[in-house]
Chains A and B, each alone.
Chain A
Amino acid sequence: MTKVYSKKNDMLLMVIFTIVVLTMPIWLAPIGAGYPDLVQKFAIYGIFAIGFNILFGLTGYLSFGHAAFLGVGSYTAVWCFKLLSMNVIPAVLFGVLTSGVLAFLIGYVALRRSGIYFSILTLAFAQMCYNLAYSVLTPITNGETGLSLVKDDPRFLDGMLGVQVVEGLPSTSLFGLKMSGYPGFYFCAVLLIIAFFIALKLNRSPFGMMLKAVKSNQNRMNFTGLNTKPYTLAAFVISGMYAGLAGALLAVTDPLAGAERMQWTASGEVVLMTILGGAGTLIGPVLGAGLIKYFENIFSAFNESTLHSIFAFLPDWVEGGVVWSVSHFVGEGWHLTLGAMFMIIIIFLPGGLVEGANKIKSWVMNRNSKTSDDSGGSGAAPQTSSVE
């Protein structure tokens, strides 16, 4: 098995990625996912998963508390909308910054341990953040109700720049361009492309190689004269900043922040996305995020009456049973579907969807090479360049 990255392939990957992301509303339309609210989610959770993968995929440290950074990014962004400006730029910048600071603090403590202990520490910190947001810090977070915009927010920056006050609640904007609908999606999409580009650069850099070395053998790293602690901390902070960016974007597209965004289920979800798509691969986390958000959207929208209409072709006595059993996997219970899907992937494709794609690719190439040289002779095994 060999692995060679070339600059040309990476450029190609970048170009394809950009095109695919920007045309999402078009090619997702036939499967009912082309509308702005959903493609926005794909982009935002894609960023979240890419960032998570920088920590988990490269260094192997499994954080179970990344939702804390997502939440902090959202709260910060909403506060920026309240205090500074409805422009999204400061909100995004401060969202990334505060979550970076929080990641530094949590990482500094949690990275004293590795393996399961690290995971538990991050989980504990995230739950602390959740509880702080939910009750203790109510003046800042508005507790259970969640933080939202109100009519008489000061917005000092807007006031100074003389932005016109509109009737009712103002909406988020990028220098006057309203961040709702497709402009909102394209804003997130551009950031997703930048986030992906940075992740790609990291992956191919000496720094990224060191992070992979951390995952592979920390003992050898130490005896090679490398201090693993700052490397893991840097990865943790970068990945926390990605999560903060995703959180801020959630607030950009919908200026609300609630404590439930920091719940452990949200931390678990990003783990699922990354593993489902393929941890350690570049494109995997984005795929996983898209798939989970798509299924969440599709399956949770089903209810009994839609099921009845789908299975209407069946005889009545069969239909009742089928609808009864399927109904547990859709709507509120769509997590059952997610769980089942996750199990199937882990058992049959531990490397995630990307591994699946590579398997299919090498199978096809094997077939082609067999048909092309019938003259016999073992020949060189076809080199599969992985999607990574």
Chain B
Amino acid sequence: MGILQIQNLGKRFGGLKALDEVNLDFQEGQVHAIIGPNGAGKSTLLNCIVGRLNPDVGTVMFNGNSLLGKKPHEINQEGIARVFQTPEIFGDLTLIENTMIPAFARRDGAFKVNAWSRVDGQAEIRESSEHILEEVGLLEKRNVIANTLSRGDKRRLELAMCLVQEPKLLLLDEPTAGMSRADTNNTIELLKKIGEREITKVIIEHDMHVVFSLADRISVMAQGTVIAEDKPENIKGNPVVQEAYLGGAHL
């Protein structure tokens, strides 16, 4: 039994079946990639997991608890962090503030009026934030306003913000979308580096280079359902996948 189990999940948008009887089982500690052509339902699936969308039918179980009906902040407090397609960071704040906020959220919960102490007096939070910034290679820019970063650095920062919470599950929605080849490779290296932790990762990705360098397991989606699930080396040769995804061309 995996850490995250999705059973019989369905979601309709009007007449369109975005998700149709999706069954997935994510094993603890694995990197699980979900691939598929545009409109396959990958993002809808992710949004159902994090509480942005409510599925019509089916269950989403995390560590034996249902996530359905919970709000995004409650789901995050359960230990699920998410990286967005376009990095979602606190653009007006400094990098260190960006990483301290999730650290506070982890320590103090969803709401706490901590109005009488100083931010710079919180040594423990500051240390863990600096440590994580160092890990992603942004420590020197800790007092820089986040909006001034490059796209690749914003992605690093967002990853740091997720990692400082020590999540059990990390969801990555096209982490290299819109990046240059060099930035993509840097991100892959970074993801491999953080892979040394015991975090389960779910990656949605278009870039096959990224998928095959990272994934332990791959699920292929098309038209709202999972059409194949296997190890990377087997997926490459799977004729069903080639037909659905690439129109018959070879990977």
Q: Using a CB–CB distance below 8 Å, which chain A residues touch chain B?
A: 1-7, 201-202, 204-210, 212-213, 215-217, 219-228, 230-231, 234
Contact = CB atoms under 8 A, between A and B. Distances in A.
Contacts of B117: 205-206
A219 B88 CA distance: 8
Given A204-B119, A220-B90, 18 more contacts: A2-B144, A205-B116, A205-B118, A206-B117, A210-B104, A212-B90, A212-B93, A212-B97, A213-B101, A217-B88, A220-B161, A222-B72, A224-B81, A224-B161, A225-B77, A226-B73, A227-B73, A234-B113
**10 residue pairs, one from A and one from B, having the closest CB atoms:** A225-B76, A227-B110, A207-B115, A216-B90, A220-B88, A206-B114, A222-B72, A2-B143, A225-B105, A230-B111
A224 B100 contact: no
Interface in B107-133: 108-120, 122
Contacts of B76: 222-225
Contact of A207 (B74, B81, B113): B113
B89 A217 contact: yes
A135 B51 CA distance: 47
A108 to B, nearest CB: 15
Nearest to A208: B115
B145 interface: yes
Given A1-B144, A7-B118, A210-B101, A226 B90 contact: no
B55 interface: no
Contacts of A230: 111
A38 B10 CA distance: 67
A215 B92 CA distance: 9
B74 to A, nearest CB: 8
25 contacts: A1-B144, A4-B143, A201-B116, A204-B120, A205-B118, A206-B108, A206-B114, A206-B117, A207-B113, A209-B93, A209-B100, A209-B104, A212-B92, A213-B97, A216-B91, A217-B88, A221-B73, A224-B76, A224-B161, A225-B74, A225-B77, A225-B102, A226-B110, A227-B110, A234-B113
Identify the interface centre among B73, B77, B84, B114: most chain A CB within 10 Å of its CB.
B73
A184 to B, nearest CB: 30
B198 to A, nearest CB: 20
B6 to A, nearest CB: 19
Contact of B88 (A5, A204, A223, A227): A223
Given A223-B50, A224-B101, A224-B161, A1 B90 contact: no
A127 B156 CA distance: 48
Residue with the highest number of chain B CB atoms closer than 10 Å, among A1, A204, A227, A230: A227
Nearest to B100: A209
A222 B110 CA distance: 9
Nearest to A229: B111
B119 A206 contact: yes
Contacts of A1: 144-145, 148
B59 interface: no
Contact of A226 (B88, B111, B143, B148): B111
